Amino acid sequence: MSNYYGPCDFSNIVGYPHEVPEKAIDKLPSFQGDNVTSAKAHIRNFNLCIARWCMAHNHEDVKMKLFVLSLEEEAIDWFMEHDDNKFKDLKGIIEAFNDKWGDKRDHHSLLTALHSSHKEDNETVEGFNRRFNELVKSLPQDIKPPEKAILIFYIQAFEGEMRYQLRDKEPTNVREAQDKAIKIDKNMQDSGKSNVLGFSKEVKKVQNQEPQGDSIDKLTQLIKQMELNHANQIAAMQANQTALHDKIVAMERDKSNNHKPNDRWQKGIPKGPPYQEQERPPEPMEANNWFDDPVIPYCRACDDSHEEGTCPIFFQIIKKKLAARERMEQVNMVGHECVFDNNEDLLDSVRTWFA
């Protein structure tokens, strides 16, 4: 900690060193240099802390050390860049502090800062209200916007649900809007929706949840497993379809190799209306377009699946029937003879005879 006080020169302070009260250290305001707290507000809060907790320790070295301890992050880095023993009293430190972090903006910059005011994520509503009010007070009267315009700038400084609720309350002035903003923020904290970083309820919820990386890994593994299961199901369905197709083709081939006469058909054409070739009922496998094989015809002579014009049994039966008919017609007709040059002529004659 002694390195923090390097730029301070305590050699001319009578009674140095004096004890720094612990209570004052605990109550010190902090300044990071990130525009969340203005330099003017920090000096005011620091003087208030000294007045409350250092009445019995009103020594120059104590106040210098406390002011240095109130600086954090960029602000303490700035202070430690100074040469050793540069500051001999608190006044010199505060003057350098104002030169670095004080408000030296012109009218245009002040109006731009008001228009672009934004509540930081690590800033409480009370702290933002103080910073916003200080910015409004710093505006000269001749360029200060009307109250309604300042109210709009204040509401626009919030985001998300806070802005929506604050606008829904329809405040009439900045003071009323700030009071409502504090109440809305308190309700959001009670419901675990505060946007202040480090809020305890949000921290507890995060601690009870699994790390985000682990959840993503588990989701990725689940998706990969689902894809693998889907691929296995598709492969099994394809294998079953192929096996079924091979089995049906094998059965058809076995039937075509075993031609047996159809005894029922050879006994004679049944009585009834003239023969009309009927379409074979569609098979489910063909209706669903499972295979691209052509429809297999039906042979009545051998009760099998092939063209009748290619069946030897069919021609044997037809020739026998024609010979029997010719013998019967020779009783009334003399010299009638039926001659066929080939099987096709014979088949055409039989079909005409059936019709």
pLDDT tens, position by position, 60-74: 999 999 999 999 989
Best CA proximity match to 277, nearest among 229, 309, 239: 309
Q: What is the per-residue pLDDT across 20-64, written as a single tens digit (0 to 9) for each?
A: 898 889 999 999 887 667 788 889 899 999 988 887 778 999 999
The per-residue pLDDT for 139 is 82
Distances (CA, A) of 116 to 41, 113, 143, 150, 328: 20, 5, 16, 11, 119
pLDDT band at 204 (very low <50, low <70, confident <90, very high): very low
| For range 76-98, the mean pLDDT | 92
Does residue 306 have a pLDDT over 60?
Answer: yes
Q: Do 178 and 154 touch, CB atoms closer than 8 A? A: yes
Can you state the angle between helices 107-115 and 125-137, rounded to 10 degrees? Answer: 150
Best CA proximity match to 116, nearest among 108, 104, 124: 108
The per-residue pLDDT for 246 is 84
**Cα 52 → chain centroid:** 53
Q: Do 74 and 32 touch, CB atoms closer than 8 A? A: yes
Alpha-carbon distance 210 to 231, whole Å? 31
Q: What is the per-residue pLDDT across 14-24, written as a single tens digit (0 to 9) for each?
A: 988 898 898 88
The per-residue pLDDT for 89 is 93
Q: Do 119 and 128 touch, CB atoms closer than 8 A? A: yes
Q: Do 231 and 316 touch, CB atoms closer than 8 A? A: no
Helix (H, G, I), strand (E, B) or coil at 8: strand
Q: What are phi and psi of 8, to 5 degrees?
A: -90, 140
| Highest-pLDDT range among 7-11, 249-253, 278-282, 346-350 | 7-11
The per-residue pLDDT for 349 is 58
Does residue 194 have a pLDDT over 80?
Answer: no
**285 or 255: whose pLDDT is higher?**
255
| For range 252-264, the mean pLDDT | 63
**333 or 9: whose pLDDT is higher?**
9
Amino acid at position 166, single letter: L
**217 or 173: whose pLDDT is higher?**
173
Does residue 290 have a pLDDT over 60?
Answer: no
Distances (CA, A) of 302 to 197, 257, 264, 299, 346: 91, 12, 10, 6, 18
Does residue 166 have a pLDDT over 80?
Answer: yes
The per-residue pLDDT for 264 is 56
Does residue 101 have a pLDDT over 90?
Answer: no
Determine how many CB atoms are found less than 10 A away from the CB of residue 74.
14
| Among the ranges given (84-93, 99-108, 146-155, 262-271), the one the predictor scored with the smallest mean pLDDT | 262-271
Best CA proximity match to 274, nearest among 354, 211, 190: 354
Does residue 159 have a pLDDT over 50?
Answer: yes
Structure tokens at 77: 């880095």
- Cis, peptide link before residue 17, omega less than 30° from 0: yes
User: How many residues are listed for the chain in this entry?
Assistant: 355
Best CA proximity match to 258, nearest among 218, 304, 289, 217: 304
Does residue 193 have a pLDDT over 80?
Answer: no
Note if the pTM is more than 0.75.
Answer: no
| For range 104-110, the mean pLDDT | 72
pLDDT > 90: percent of the chain:
23
Does residue 255 have a pLDDT over 90?
Answer: no
Q: What is the rounded average pLDDT for all residues in the chain? A: 78
Does residue 291 have a pLDDT over 50?
Answer: no
| For range 327-340, the mean pLDDT | 56
Does residue 200 have a pLDDT over 50?
Answer: no
| Highest-pLDDT range among 106-115, 167-176, 203-212, 342-351 | 167-176
Q: What is the per-residue pLDDT across 118-142, written as a single tens digit (0 to 9) for each?
A: 898 888 999 899 889 888 888 888 8
The per-residue pLDDT for 224 is 87
The per-residue pLDDT for 258 is 61
